[in-house]
Amino acid sequence: MIPGAVQEDAPFRLLLAANPLPTWLYDSESLRFLEVNDAAVSRYGYTRDEFLQKRITDLHLPEDAGRLIDDLRRAGPGLRRWTNLRHRTRDARILDVEIAAHTLQFPSGPAVLVVVHDVTERKRAEAALRQSDARHRAIVDAALDCVITMDGDGRVIEFNPAAERTFGYRKRDVFGRPLADLIIATDVRQAPRDGLSSHHVTGELKVLGRRIEMRAIRSDGSAFPVELAMAKIPGDGEELYTGYLRDITERKQSEDAQRAVNTELEQRVSQRTAELQAALEELEAFSYSVSHDLLAPLRSIAGFSQALVEDAGPVLSGETRTHLDRIRTATHRMGQLIDDLLRLSKVSRGEMTRESVNLGELAVRVANELDKRAGGHVPAVTIAPALVAMGDPRLLRILLENLLDNAWKFTGRQPNAQVEIGSNDGPDGSTIFYVRDNGIGFDASYAAKLFTPFQRLHAASDFPGTGIGLATVRRIVHRHGGHVWAEGAPGRGACVSFTLEPPRASREESR
In contact, 419 and 408? CB cutoff 8 Å: yes
- DSSP codes joined into one string, 427-449: TTS-EEEEEEE-SS---GGGGGG
User: Which listed CATH number (1.10.10, 3.30.70, 1.10.287, 1.10.8) goes with 256-350?
Assistant: 1.10.287
* Three-class SS state of 378: coil
More confidently predicted of 259 and 347: 259
Average pLDDT over residues 412-429: 87
The values of phi and psi at residue 258, to 5°, are -65, -40
Q: Do domains 5-124 and 143-247 have the same CATH topology?
A: yes
The values of phi and psi at residue 409, to 5°, are -65, -45
Contacts of residues 414-417 at CB distance under 8 Å and 24 or more positions apart, as own/partner, are 414/379, 414/438, 414/439, 414/440, 416/380, 417/377, 417/378, 417/379, 417/380
Q: What gap in Å lies between CA 353 and CA 28, rounded to an integer? A: 111
Give tens-digit pLDDT for 105-159. Answer: 877 778 889 999 999 898 888 888 888 878 878 888 888 888 988 887 888 989 9
pLDDT at residue 197 is higher than 60: no
Q: What average pLDDT does the chain have?
A: 81
Least confident of 35-44, 380-389, 447-456: 447-456
Give tens-digit pLDDT for 312-331. Answer: 777 777 787 777 777 777 77
Tell me, what's the pLDDT at 369? 86
* Three-class SS state of 361: helix
Statement: the pTM of the whole predicted model exceeds 0.85? no
Give tens-digit pLDDT for 360-401. Answer: 999 999 888 888 776 667 788 899 988 899 998 888 988 998
User: Which listed CATH number (3.40.50.1100, 3.90.600.10, 3.30.1330.10, 3.30.450.20) goes with 143-247?
Assistant: 3.30.450.20
Class of domain 352-510 (CATH, top level): alpha beta
| Residue 358 CB burial class (10 angstroms; 0-12, 13-18, ≥19) | middle
pLDDT at residue 199 is higher than 60: no
Tell me, what's the pLDDT at 485? 92
Q: What gap in Å lies between CA 389 and CA 80, rounded to an integer? A: 98
User: Which listed CATH number (3.30.450.20, 3.10.20.30, 3.90.105.10, 3.40.50.300) goes with 5-124?
Assistant: 3.30.450.20
| pLDDT confidence band for 440 (50 / 70 / 90) | confident
Domain chopping of the chain, boundaries: 5-124, 143-247, 256-350, 352-510
More confidently predicted of 349 and 318: 318
